[in-house]
Amino acid sequence: MGADTLQHAVPGVARVPRPQRLAGGLVGLWRLAPVAIAGVSGAQTFFFGGRELRRVEFVADASDLADGGSAAFGELLEFGRRTYGPETAANDPSGSYAAWTSGGLEVYAQRVPAPHATVRWVVKLSEGKDASEL
């Protein structure tokens, strides 16, 4: 999907004044804010590689929530399980993480605890790596 198609498909999307750059050359050029997902409000950023949409990222500040975003992360987990099946999960002091792979997509949910608690939901095109590239 290109930028023109995105603008038609997602009403309210706006160009980002200072694009965010990620490793691998992805650039967050468009944003939809505020968006509510799983009970938290945050921004949804659309990242392009070249002229193609490659990644959609939702990030919410959960530092004002009593549970630090734990309930929202739980809702994202349940949504991921219903949509993509069992997850690959990790929990450690730096946060909680769950990932799914479906067709050409990689999806993950992440919760980072205090002091800057955040909840993140990312959908991106698979990079197609296999075990020979490890």
- Along the 134 residues of the chain, how does pLDDT read in single tens digits? 888 888 888 888 899 999 999 888 899 999 997 888 877 889 999 999 988 999 999 999 988 888 888 999 999 999 999 999 999 888 777 788 999 998 889 999 999 987 788 999 999 988 765 555 44
Task: Indicate the pTM of the whole model.
Answer: 0.84
CB of 84 closer than 8 Å to CB of 107: yes
CB 60 within 8 A of CB 37: yes
